[in-house]
Amino acid sequence: MTLPARYYTDPEIFRKELERFYFNRWICAGRSSAIPNPGDYFLCELANESVIVTRDNAGDIRAFYNVCRHRGSRMCEEQEGSLPGKRITCPYHAWSYGLDGALIGAPHAERPGFSRADYPLKPVRAEHWEGNVFLHFGTPTETVAELLARVATKFANWRMSDLKMHRRIVYDVKANWKLIVLNYNECLHCPFVHPELNPLTDYLGADNEEPNSTYIGGVMFLRNGAETMSFGGSRSGRAFLPGLTEEQRTWAGFYAIYPNLLLAPHPDYLLTHTLWPKAADRTEIVCELHFPPEEMAKPKFYADDAGNFWDLINRQDWHIAELSQAGISSRAYVPGPYTKREELLRAFDQDVLAIDGE
Amino acid sequence: MTLPARYYTDPEIFRKELERFYFNRWICAGRSSAIPNPGDYFLCELANESVIVTRDNAGDIRAFYNVCRHRGSRMCEEQEGSLPGKRITCPYHAWSYGLDGALIGAPHAERPGFSRADYPLKPVRAEHWEGNVFLHFGTPTETVAELLARVATKFANWRMSDLKMHRRIVYDVKANWKLIVLNYNECLHCPFVHPELNPLTDYLGADNEEPNSTYIGGVMFLRNGAETMSFGGSRSGRAFLPGLTEEQRTWAGFYAIYPNLLLAPHPDYLLTHTLWPKAADRTEIVCELHFPPEEMAKPKFYADDAGNFWDLINRQDWHIAELSQAGISSRAYVPGPYTKREELLRAFDQDVLAIDGE
Amino acid sequence: MTLPARYYTDPEIFRKELERFYFNRWICAGRSSAIPNPGDYFLCELANESVIVTRDNAGDIRAFYNVCRHRGSRMCEEQEGSLPGKRITCPYHAWSYGLDGALIGAPHAERPGFSRADYPLKPVRAEHWEGNVFLHFGTPTETVAELLARVATKFANWRMSDLKMHRRIVYDVKANWKLIVLNYNECLHCPFVHPELNPLTDYLGADNEEPNSTYIGGVMFLRNGAETMSFGGSRSGRAFLPGLTEEQRTWAGFYAIYPNLLLAPHPDYLLTHTLWPKAADRTEIVCELHFPPEEMAKPKFYADDAGNFWDLINRQDWHIAELSQAGISSRAYVPGPYTKREELLRAFDQDVLAIDGE
């Protein structure tokens, strides 16, 4: 049976889930290719937090709370960019910090008794995995590499680290973040919700992995001669990803990596969604399509057939998720029966209950 | 004395009133003429609830929560329409229900142990009274016909069931719903708030019924040669309603039927307001004018003199109600003295206190 | 060290501060020159309250809650104006009150047992000080004149009562009101935040008064030949204020008079800001520039160099205050160290803790 309504509507449960699912697990912050050089940065914003994700001089990814140790001001404002002089400088009184977070300068503060070593930026743990940057606001017991070893192996041929973002679309959806995950993990709705997607793939033909506590997912086979997921199923001249086997060119993966990364390797691109819960009934969703840079460099490179396709499919999903959110908020709602085709959803619900301590 | 401020500002009292006044009484949902044929429907939305009001094959009015029994999705989205195939079908996974609420189809759910009979739509009690559809979210102890028998008798000649809606205007008013009821039940403010209405009727000339626990109201006599309430008091060529006596052509009724129907029979039309509380300090108000269909069918039918008149009078009232709401929210507000001309208001306040259990 | 985050983010602390700092102290409501004649009025709005500030027939300033004693309606709607017939008349049922707040007329209410003397408007204490109107919602233990005697003496030559408003700019700032006060009382940020202001004055050259429980402040000396604070430091043909000594023409004062008046006498104008807290993280700020009427009467009078200058400086300050608000809301924020140049801020924080009972 589906979960009781309060898991989708109660602000207190939402607050707890945010702490347990998001602030106490690895979350996906974005792509490492966005910050190729030392001093490049992007901001990752979760709930009230803003984190500066940057690359240090050794090439390692570092992350710090965007909070000056002097009077608490936010320092970086632009969503992404390059830090002038490879320093993080507060715009208020010009305290400045190195790429390792150390306080370097504090004008007029340095008198006897003041030690710069007492005021480094507060760090957030960061890890690079297959081209993605993961952050952990708490203390992880395992690395991302350990948690996602099987996924890395399965999709090694996709060489996800080599891919670059071609297009980003951001959505503001009036639904609980878990309804997005539930919707992602069954295609039983595809014939009714996605008339453009349904001909390309057999909605009953998913090959799902045994669910585990880190992710749920599986693959869906293409059909009717479709070469990829796009309008009409055409690759529009794009090559398959270079490392794929013949068999790997015949399906797409759909993995919900808890809590916020939806990872979908396709024959000629990588599709990602990251979820950013805003309230019990509101989620920001960032959808990105990633291609090989050599493909994007071709003069005739064209990918709107895939980008616009997913924009359409996304909107269909968000709309039905919003209808679910509205209906579940009713006093008439009671948990309903999952079918056999919704087994991944049941697994996710069990994890939610476990994480929520229930 | 008027009620303490908390009855107009406290979210908790608002929540209780919503339960006791709205979810535990008959409320007026709209006009039955909006759904003449089986499968026609309109949505009634109260607080978080959405109810599908439809007509079944026997011609009876039926109402169901707009919540699918599978995963809780809302099913109907358009405010009104006709159900395809006389079925309510969920857009998510195509569970479908008959006009009696029974589950008819549930693709991929029907395996051993699953019984469609376990998953009918949840009903809301519905009753037709004088052309209006009433809903009861709880268990009524009396029928609408019983509760409003005297009103039906008094206005039998208006043949309200025969009238059809000509115009609907929707307002979003920043005032507690009870301030709208209070404002409706005294005309002492008419000389100051309604310079266009005041010449048409004697603001001291109301003939009020003895208040009871179902409604308060009375009639106001036209004056200065006015034939109806409209700009200038003219009927602009419209006939009197066919069944009225000479005497019934000389006044208009103003009945506040608790909690949300303001019913005003006029010599040549019926005016209704329904109230939809949104928050302690916010109410949506739907105003409609209803005429005989044979009158509306005349080539020269014109009713803007009445429609625009009430739009003006409405806005004057909502504005003063918003000023009341703002003032009552002040720490300086203390209950003030009702005059003898505000006796219906006192009766309503007593009912509020009784319903609120105080 | 700076204050803990909760003083800037907790709605409950905000509510208490509003009561203790704003509703239990003299606050500045505006300029008395806005209401030169009996019956002139302006509205002062603080939190949910609306106060009518007017001048009575004796020329004294009077203030009343904008709440009718009959049904609690607000009476005056326009932000400023002149009361028709020198009466405050409720638009609902025409109860009317004199400039002393006494109920004069109450149509249809006056029957045996009703005494007009029982229903005067509720007064708010008002005091005139140096051209400014102060209100006290509670019971003051000292007059404004007593509390601000030293400020009045220091700036007597400015003849602030004679000045008239030339320009008003209203801002909606997403920051706690105290961050505005903190920002106002140090110029250590000037080299980084205010490139246009910094050349005009020595950011280390403030001459601060010993802080006290009523205000903090001091003066800043002009430099580089600047004659006033404006674009380029020019007076653009404006005379110095008539009463100033040579020495008084060389600096500007910056006084934060608790809780809501920022008073800044300049060589050729008076600059005021009043703060109107809306939420823990939101403040409305009214900025005004005041000049001698004889100066404003000159055909070539021009003051945009000063007005636009302060609009720019203001926006720079509000922006940095918003960045502070955002950063302080982070779980990573901890109180940081004040420098010696931020001594006034420490004094203000101590007053906040004292007022808040901590």
Contact status of C48 with chain B (Cβ, < 8 Å): yes
**Closest chain A C-alpha to C205 CA, distance in angstroms:** 14
Rounded to 10 deg, the angle between the A177-184 and A343-355 helix axes is 150
CATH number of B30-139: 2.102.10.10
In this predicted structure, the answer to whether residue B234 has a pLDDT above a threshold of 70 is yes
Rounded to 10 deg, the angle between the A177-184 and A304-328 helix axes is 120
Q: In what order do the strands lie in the sheet with A282-291?
A: A164-173, A282-291, A270-279, A261-265, A251-257, A215-222, A201-208
pLDDT of residue B358: 63
Q: Which of A67, A78, A108 to probe by mutation at the C interface, max C CB count within 10 Å?
A: A67
pLDDT in tens, B42-63: 999 999 999 999 999 999 999 9
In contact, C289 and C165? CB cutoff 8 Å: yes
- Architecture of domain A27-139 in CATH? 3-layer Sandwich (2.102)
Instruction: Give A207's pLDDT tier (boundaries 50, 70, 90).
Output: confident
Contact status of A339 with chain B (Cβ, < 8 Å): yes
Question: How far is C105 from C95, CA to CA, in rounded Å?
Answer: 5
Chain position carrying tokens 């010599």: B267
State the average pLDDT for chain B: 95
Please identify among residues 141-200 of chain A the ones whose CB lies closer than 8 Å to any CB of chain B.
182, 188-189, 191-193
**Closest chain B C-alpha to C358 CA, distance in angstroms:** 26
CB neighbour list of residue B92: distance below 8 Å, 6 or more residues apart: A189, A192, A193, A320, A323, A324, B68, B70, B71, B73
Strand residue runs (E) in C32-183: 40-46, 49-55, 61-65, 80-82, 88-89, 96-97, 103-105, 123-129, 132-136, 164-173
Of A271, A176, A264, residue with least CA distance to A220:
A264
Residues linked to residue C254 through DSSP beta bridges, in sequence order: C218
Chain position carrying tokens 């009717």: A224
In this predicted structure, the answer to whether residue A292 has a pLDDT above a threshold of 90 is yes
Question: How far is C66 from C75, CA to CA, in rounded Å?
Answer: 6
Instruction: Give B267's pLDDT tier (boundaries 50, 70, 90).
Output: very high
**Closest chain A C-alpha to B131 CA, distance in angstroms:** 27
In this predicted structure, the answer to whether residue A358 has a pLDDT above a threshold of 70 is no
Of C152, C263, C266, residue with least CA distance to C201:
C266
In contact, C159 and C129? CB cutoff 8 Å: no
Question: How far is B355 from B349, CA to CA, in rounded Å?
Answer: 10
For the question of an ipTM over 0.85, the answer is: yes
CA atoms within 13 A on the CB side of A210: 1
Instruction: Give C358's pLDDT tier (boundaries 50, 70, 90).
Output: low
Question: What letter represents residue A183's amino acid?
Answer: N
Residue % of chain C over a pLDDT of 90 = 91
Q: Which chains touch C (3 or more CB pairs under 8 A)?
A: A, B
In contact, A45 and A21? CB cutoff 8 Å: no
pLDDT of residue C142: 97
φ, ψ (nearest 5 deg) of residue A198: -55, -40
Question: How far is B273 from B278, CA to CA, in rounded Å?
Answer: 16
Question: What letter represents residue A88's amino acid?
Answer: I
pLDDT of residue A255: 97
pLDDT in tens, A250-283: 999 999 999 999 999 999 999 999 999 999 999 9
In contact, B220 and B201? CB cutoff 8 Å: yes
In this predicted structure, the answer to whether residue A190 has a pLDDT above a threshold of 80 is yes
Question: How far is C244 from C251, CA to CA, in rounded Å?
Answer: 11
In contact, A304 and A167? CB cutoff 8 Å: no
Instruction: Give B354's pLDDT tier (boundaries 50, 70, 90).
Output: confident
Instruction: Identify the CATH class of B1-26+141-358.
Output: alpha beta
Contact status of B228 with chain A (Cβ, < 8 Å): no
**Which tops the pLDDT comparison, A155 or C358?**
A155
Question: How far is A135 from A286, CA to CA, in rounded Å?
Answer: 16
Please report, in angstroms and rounded to a whole number, the separation of the first and last CA atoms in chain A.
15
Q: How far is CA C68 from the centre of its chain?
A: 27
Of C192, C324, C341, nearest to A72 by CB-CB distance is C324
**Closest chain C C-alpha to A186 CA, distance in angstroms:** 36
In contact, C103 and C120? CB cutoff 8 Å: yes
Task: List the structure tokens of B357.
Answer: 């259990």
Question: Per-residue pLDDT averaged across C250-255, rounded?
Answer: 96
Length of chain C: 358
**Which tops the pLDDT comparison, C204 or B157?**
B157
State the average pLDDT for chain C: 95
φ, ψ (nearest 5 deg) of residue C2: -70, 165
Question: Per-residue pLDDT averaged across A166-195, rounded?
Answer: 96
| Contact residues on chain A for C328, CB-CB shorter than 8 A | 67, 72
In contact, B306 and B228? CB cutoff 8 Å: yes
pLDDT of residue C204: 84
Of A33, A31, A41, residue with least CA distance to A62:
A41
pLDDT of residue A205: 79
Q: Could you tell me the maximum CA-CA distance found in chain A, to the nearest angstrom?
A: 76
Question: Per-residue pLDDT averaged across A72-86, rounded?
Answer: 97
Question: How far is A23 from A125, CA to CA, in rounded Å?
Answer: 11
**Closest chain A C-alpha to C63 CA, distance in angstroms:** 39
In this predicted structure, the answer to whether residue C130 has a pLDDT above a threshold of 90 is yes
Residue % of chain A over a pLDDT of 90 = 91
The topology (CATH level 3) of A1-22+149-358 is Naphthalene 1,2-dioxygenase Alpha Subunit; Chain A, domain 1 (3.90.380)
Say which DSSP state A209 is in.
Answer: P
**DSSP characters for C281-311?**
TEEEEEEEEEE-HHHHTSTT---HHHHHHHH
CA atoms within 13 A on the CB side of B240: 16
**Closest chain A C-alpha to B215 CA, distance in angstroms:** 28
CB neighbour list of residue B312: distance below 8 Å, 6 or more residues apart: B196
Note whether A72 contacts C339, CB cutoff 8 Å: no
In contact, A280 and A8? CB cutoff 8 Å: yes
pLDDT in tens, B117-148: 999 999 999 999 999 999 999 999 999 999 99
Of B159, B166, B181, residue with least CA distance to B248:
B159
pLDDT of residue B355: 77
Q: Residues A238, A242, A247, A251: is their CA dihedral positive or negative?
A: negative
Of C49, C2, C1, residue with least CA distance to C23:
C49
Of C188, C333, C341, nearest to A72 by CB-CB distance is C333
Question: Per-residue pLDDT averaged across C65-84, rounded?
Answer: 98
pLDDT in tens, A299-311: 999 999 999 999 9
| Contact residues on chain B for A341, CB-CB shorter than 8 A | 108
Say which DSSP state A188 is in.
Answer: T
Question: How far is A93 from C58, CA to CA, in rounded Å?
Answer: 52
User: For residue B79, what is the enclosing H or E element?
Assistant: none
Task: List the structure tokens of A25.
Answer: 């697990």
In contact, C210 and C344? CB cutoff 8 Å: no
CA A83, A84, A90: angle at the middle one, nearest 5? 75
Question: Per-residue pLDDT averaged across A283-298, rounded?
Answer: 97
In this predicted structure, the answer to whether residue B157 has a pLDDT above a threshold of 90 is yes
pLDDT in tens, C298-323: 999 999 999 999 999 999 999 999 99
Q: Residues C311, C316, C317, C319: is their CA dihedral positive or negative?
A: positive
In contact, C180 and C285? CB cutoff 8 Å: yes
Q: Quick one: closest CA in B to C93, which residue?
A: B189
Q: Which chains touch B (3 or more CB pairs under 8 A)?
A: A, C
Burial of A279 (0-12, 13-18, 19+ CB in 10 A): middle
State the average pLDDT for chain A: 95
Note whether C72 contacts B336, CB cutoff 8 Å: yes
User: For residue B113, what is the enclosing H or E element?
Assistant: none
**Closest chain C C-alpha to B172 CA, distance in angstroms:** 19
In contact, C72 and C57? CB cutoff 8 Å: no
In this structure, how many other beta carbons lie within 10 angstroms of the beta carbon of residue B153?
A: 9
The verdict on whether omega for the bond into residue B292 sits within 30 degrees of 0, i.e. cis, is: no
Q: Which of C67, C124, C125 to probe by mutation at the B interface, max B CB count within 10 Å?
A: C67
3-class SS string, C154-215: HCHHHCHHHCEEEEEEEEEECCCHHHHHHHHCCCCCHHHHCCCCHHHEEEEEEEECCCCCCE
Number of Cβ pairs < 8 A linking chain A and chain C: 76
Question: How far is C92 from C70, CA to CA, in rounded Å?
Answer: 9
Domain boundaries, chain C: 1-22+149-358, 27-139
Please report, in angstroms and rounded to a whole number, the separation of the first and last CA atoms in chain C.
15
pLDDT in tens, C202-243: 888 788 889 999 999 999 999 999 999 999 999 999 999 999
Q: Which of A50, A75, A93 to probe by mutation at the C interface, max C CB count within 10 Å?
A: A93
Contact status of B114 with chain C (Cβ, < 8 Å): no
In this predicted structure, the answer to whether residue A181 has a pLDDT above a threshold of 80 is yes
pLDDT of residue C186: 92
Contact status of B271 with chain A (Cβ, < 8 Å): no
pLDDT of residue A308: 97
Question: Per-residue pLDDT averaged across B102-106, rounded?
Answer: 96
| Contact residues on chain B for C73, CB-CB shorter than 8 A | 320, 323-324, 327
**DSSP characters for B114-171?**
--GGG-PPPEEEEEEETTEEEEESS--SS-HHHHTHHHHHHTGGG-GGG-EEEEEEEE
Rg, Å, chain A Cα set: 22
> pTM of this prediction?
0.94
Question: Per-residue pLDDT averaged across A135-150, rounded?
Answer: 97
pLDDT of residue A319: 98
